[in-house]
Amino acid sequence: MNWDASVDKYRGRVGIGVIIRDHKGLMIAALRMSRPLYPDPTLAEACWAYEATKFGLQLGLSKVVLEGDSQQIVSALLTKDKNEFQTDMVTQETQKLLSSLYEVWSVKHVFRKANRVAHVLARKALFSSETIVDIEDPPLCISDLLLNE
């Protein structure tokens, strides 16, 4: 499960993109949604990691690898210690969800290049006020990316 956030300061929006794939890399589901802008981009990434985690639960997943390109959020999700970041409460809630509701889980940092599909979904989400979920059939905005990976 890859997630990413995208910010449009001019329009005051933040978008989320989530792509969920099976162990063979085939798309299970994709999520795009947009919300009012958070004051801090790192807080937005933390909130979207939480939303990605909830999305996986809604799909009935029991084993996940959550991947994002925000090293700060990935590190916060992997530590048991409280930190001083504004994101601490959100990352703790995400940890609780992961630990209590998933059979097996892990969180990994990936570079932007490995997170391109989630990034494109997040950018496209900025232009819609609706939450869009695609199951099995990829949206056109990522079809080519999925074929080339």
What does DSSP say about strands 63-68 and 2-8: parallel, antiparallel, or unpaired? parallel
Which CATH number goes with the domain that contains 75? Answer: 3.30.420.10
- 3-class DSSP assignment, residue 8: strand
Number of domains in the chain: 1
Domain containing 116 equals 2-148
* Contact call for residues 30 and 138 (beta carbons, < 8 A): yes
Q: List Cβ neighbours of 94 (8 Å cut-off, separation of 6 or more).
A: 46, 49, 50, 53, 77
Note the pLDDT tens digit of each residue in 39-84.
Answer: 677 888 888 899 999 999 999 999 999 999 999 899 889 887 666 5
- For residue 6, how far is the Cα from the chain centroid? 11
**What is the pTM for the complete model shown?**
0.89
Note the pLDDT tens digit of each residue in 102-147.
Answer: 888 999 999 988 999 999 999 999 998 899 999 989 999 999 898 8
